[in-house]
Amino acid sequence: MAFLNNSTVPYQLVIFDVDGTLVNSFEQFVELLNCFASKYRYAPMHKDHIEHLRALPPRQIRRELNLSVFKTFRLMYDCKREMRRRGLVPELFEGIADLLMQLKQQGVHLAIVTSNTSENCRKYLGNALFQLFDWVETNASIYGKGRQIKKILQQAKLSPEQVIYIGDQIIDIQSAHQNGIVVAAVTWGFNSESALVKHEPHYLIRSIQQLGSLLLPEQISIA
């Protein structure tokens, strides 16, 4: 794939997480976790417990819930399947659709790396937005996305400073660091702001407008 070097944008490739970054799936995810609490023998989550878990990386959450690695993967599979069965479609965060379209109009290449399925991502984003993405890497491990990011970087053939990863979890920061690329952590997703800061993202993003200013400093206009 040929890249046009657009000097007016700071990054030629933007890689996005989906859940908690592009779409607001957090409350639905917690609801599904509580739905399977009895099956996997952990206590249903109340507000204070949820806030506690938001400060933890995936492996610590697994230990908190007393789940084996195998049961964790089964639980994630059950949650994805139940979302499809119920027809749950989380909403895009306001301003995300405009941002994605403006990035594409400026010649920026887009990618997805997510633990979710391709089917769910297409449903959440809709066909028009889904087709804006040049790479879609799905079913990544909840413990890290480094392999999928590396695959995209090898295919894109860009230098690390031309690429940025946008995510809402500790593992997003760790996976980007692992591949030597810039990472912006958004505060409207799963992990809390204080937890994200501890893992040293290059940028901490508190609004879609701020994200737009980072990615399209000269062109952005997000309502």
Order of strands across the sheet that contains 109-113: 135-137, 109-113, 13-16, 163-167, 182-186, 203-205
pLDDT at 219: 61
Helical (H) or strand (E) element with 110: strand 109-113
Amino acid (one-letter) located at 1: M
pLDDT at 86: 87
Work out the widest C-alpha separation in the chain, in whole angstroms: 54
Do residues 189 and 26 make contact, with C-beta atoms less than 8 angstroms apart? yes
User: Cα separations (Å) of 200 from 18, 148, 173, 222?
Assistant: 21, 21, 8, 27
19 phi/psi in degrees, rounded to 5: -65, 125
pLDDT at 2: 44
Between CA 87 and CA 212 the distance in angstroms is 31
pLDDT at 141: 83
Place of tokens 């996997």: 40
Between CA 33 and CA 69 the distance in angstroms is 16
Instruction: State the Rg of the chain over Cα.
Output: 17
Say if residue 26 is exposed, middle or buried (CB neighbours under 10 Å; 0-12, 13-18, 19+): middle
pLDDT at 7: 59
pLDDT by position in tens, the chain (length 223) = 444 455 578 999 999 999 999 999 988 989 999 999 999 999 898 888 888 989 988 889 889 889 998 999 899 889 888 888 888 899 999 999 999 999 999 999 999 999 988 988 999 999 999 999 999 999 888 778 999 999 999 999 999 999 999 999 999 999 999 999 999 999 999 999 999 999 999 999 999 999 999 999 876 455 5
